[in-house]
Amino acid sequence: MSRGNIFLAALLWSIIAFLVIYPLSILVVESFKIAGTENWGISNYLEFFQDTYYLRTFGNTLVLSSLVLITTTLFGVPLAYILARYRHWGKTVFTALILLPIVLPAYAGVFAFVIFFGKYGTVNLLLMDTGLIKTPINFIYGLHGLVFVQSLHMLPFIVLGLSAGFTNIDPCFEEAAEVEGASGFWRFLTVTLPLCTPSYLAGAVIVFLWPFTDWLTPLILGQVDFLPSVSYINIAYHFTDMHRKYMGIVAVVISSTVCLTLFLLARWWVERKKYTGLSKGTTSEGRVIEPTPLVKWGAYLYIFFIAFLVLLIPIVLGLAAFSRRWVLEPFPTYWTLENFRLILLESPLLIKNSFIFSGIALIFGIGFGLPASYLIVRTRVPGRNALDFVITLMLAFPGMAVGVSYLLAFWKDIPLATYWIIMPLALFARRLPYFLRMAHSSYLQLDISLEEASEVSGAGKLRTFLNISLPLLVKGVLVGVVMFFIMAFQEISTAIFLYRGGWETLPIGIFLNWHRGMEFGIAAAMAFLMIVITFILLLIISRIGGGILKAAWGPGGT
């Protein structure tokens, strides 16, 4: 174990300590403060668990989580099965479409569906025009709408895990069941599905935790009695009311605790129950079925339907972006580039900020992630597993927790939050796992003897890294880089607490324009712009090739 490695580990740990551990512990400390006094205590927590309002909020969130999980599972299992097992036309295109919500920001989805399914949205207006209904149907405002929007956003996590599971199962397990006489559906229930539980669970926990992190969707749909939305309102709107602020922080800490606990439980369980590695000799395609025409058309119809819902997001936002005064009409009638003119002329700063902040965060990410993955995979430095663990935990942390804790921690003693650098730093801390995971997994796939061969040939450690490791890692690292950038570019939950005048990013611009109500077209145009930028970046990834959307595992979104 060389001295250099230990020095590197110490350096990375101090960065983690400063940017993750310190602010998050300040967050916890603040939650114990009692308003109006200098005292500390658990009274905030006691109040939270005695107050019927907060308790109801907590209960609502649990109910919402369960409903979203049930919905995504019911829709996701057949979807994953069709995508993984049926040989059909357009497999790649449909898979990409259905997985698309991972890289679309959640708020883009909500806006699109409000326009399309709202009280006087396209669907209601069309139905009233044809005379089928007299008064508009409430498609979207309420718990059912919330479940719909969040389920569509989280569906990819179920599909991704399960279809990978369906593909990776050694066909011989199912063939053995077939020989034993288990037919069709029974075989699926008793052999296939149980073998896929680990990959299902990995996605399911992310789905279940989403309602504990997503504050914006409930807010837009007029449903505020959920834990993250309450935290946001308490902290952002009542910053001067110390008690409400502390209660908001308590709510953040509680959601974070729920997220961390479930995430760790799932991780532990999945580690224990990995079946897919049990045997060798699977084909890359897995077991593929040629369905009967009837089933095939049913399957087509089904994936068309889901893909249509996903495609609505960019289409509706696009319509809104290129039009003005789209009110009380099913489709816009007045087409214009006015929205884009306004964005580019009046607020190019937002786009510039977004690129600069995400870009700087990315440089931090690479500068931290490459040495970190080297340490974790290739050395025996003590504490390397803990480092990996802490960084992975950031996947489970709600963005709001990072934002609030930065605000609290870097205000008085270390007044970093008064400088713009806080924005890229926060983005870096929040999105770090995306880059690290990719670098990490490509490092694991890199055969160590390739590096050893270089050392034996006379190259030192650094030269080996530059000549051998880096060129071979570059694919995975680049995918990680682009994913990191996309996720940082779309980030709002952390940034919303930290931005000051002049530091607004594109997502914040979308939120503010929406919030103001009148500038709806501009918000849509910004969201559309964001989707276009995301698409371009995704094209770059697919050029680089390999496991595009797998890179995005982990909670995406705001």
Residues that bind other proteins (CB under 8 A): 447, 449-450, 452-460, 463, 467-468, 471-472
Asked if 154 contacts 180 with a C-beta cutoff of 8 angstroms, the reply is: no
Closest CB 250 distance from other proteins, rounded Å: 44
CB of 472 to other proteins, least distance (A): 6
Closest contact distance (angstroms) between CB of 4 and other proteins is 12
Residue 502, classified by CB atoms within 10 Å of its CB into exposed (0-12), middle (13-18) or buried (19+), is exposed
The SS3 assignment for 134 reads coil
3-class DSSP string for 471-519: HHHHHHHHHHHHHHHHHHHHCCCCHHHHCCCCCCCHHHHHHHHHHCCCC
Looking at beta carbons only, is 285 or 447 nearer to other proteins?
447
Under 8 Å between Cβ of 51 and 193: no
Report the C-alpha gap between 277 and 37 in whole angstroms.
Answer: 57
DSSP secondary structure, 178-216, as one string: HHTT--HHHHIIIIIHHHHHHHHHHHHHHHHHHHHH--H
318 near 528, Cβ under 8 Å? yes
Instruction: Work out how close the CB of 174 gets to other proteins at its nearest, in angstroms, rounded to a whole number.
Output: 31
CB 78 within 8 A of CB 527: no
Between residues 183 and 449, which has the closer beta carbon with respect to other proteins? 449
Q: Which is nearer to other proteins, 315 or 472 (CB)?
A: 472
Longest C-alpha distance within the chain, in Å?
Answer: 82
Which lies closer to other proteins via its Cβ, residue 2 or residue 39? 2
Q: Of 367 and 460, which has the nearer Cβ to other proteins?
A: 460
What sign does the CA torsion over 198, 200, 203, 204 have? Answer: negative
Report whether 98 contacts 306 (CB < 8 A).
yes
d(CA 87, CA 100): 21
Q: How far is the CB of 456 from other proteins (least distance, A)?
A: 4
To the nearest whole angstrom, how small is the minimum distance from the Cβ of residue 380 to other proteins?
10
Compute the least distance from the CB of residue 276 to other proteins, in Å.
Answer: 23
Contact 444, 378 (CB under 8 A): no
**How many Cβ atoms sit within 10 Å of the Cβ of residue 386?**
12
Q: Which is nearer to other proteins, 123 or 446 (CB)?
A: 446
Q: Measured from the CB of residue 454, what is the shortest distance to other proteins in angstroms?
A: 7
Give the 3-state secondary structure of residue 139. coil
Nearest-approach distance from CB 388 to other proteins, in angstroms: 19
Smaller CB separation from other proteins, 396 or 468? 468
Which are the contacts of 320, defined by CB distance < 8 A and separation ≥ 6? 111, 115, 326, 332, 520, 521, 524, 525, 528
Q: How many residues does the chain have?
A: 558
432 touches 369 (CB < 8 A)? yes
CB 334 within 8 A of CB 324: yes
Structural tokens at position 322: 């290129």
**Cβ of residue 2: shortest distance to other proteins, in angstroms?**
10
Angle at 46 between CA 42 and CA 48, to 5 degrees: 120
Minimal distance, residue 1 CB to other proteins, in Å: 9
For residue 446, what is the DSSP state? S
260 by DSSP, 3-state: which? helix
Of 138 and 457, CB closest to other proteins: 457
Q: Which is nearer to other proteins, 450 or 539 (CB)?
A: 450
Give the whole-angstrom CA distance, residue 314 versus residue 481: 24
Taking the least distance from each CB to other proteins, the nearer of 270 and 446 is: 446
Instruction: Provide the minimum distance between the beta carbon of 474 and other proteins in the complex, in angstroms, as a whole number.
Output: 9
Nearer to other proteins by C-beta: 14 or 457? Answer: 457
Nearer CB in complex with other proteins: 37/385: 385
Task: Please give the C-alpha separations between residue 66 and each of 147, 209, 230, 472, in angstroms, as whole numbers.
Answer: 10, 10, 19, 43
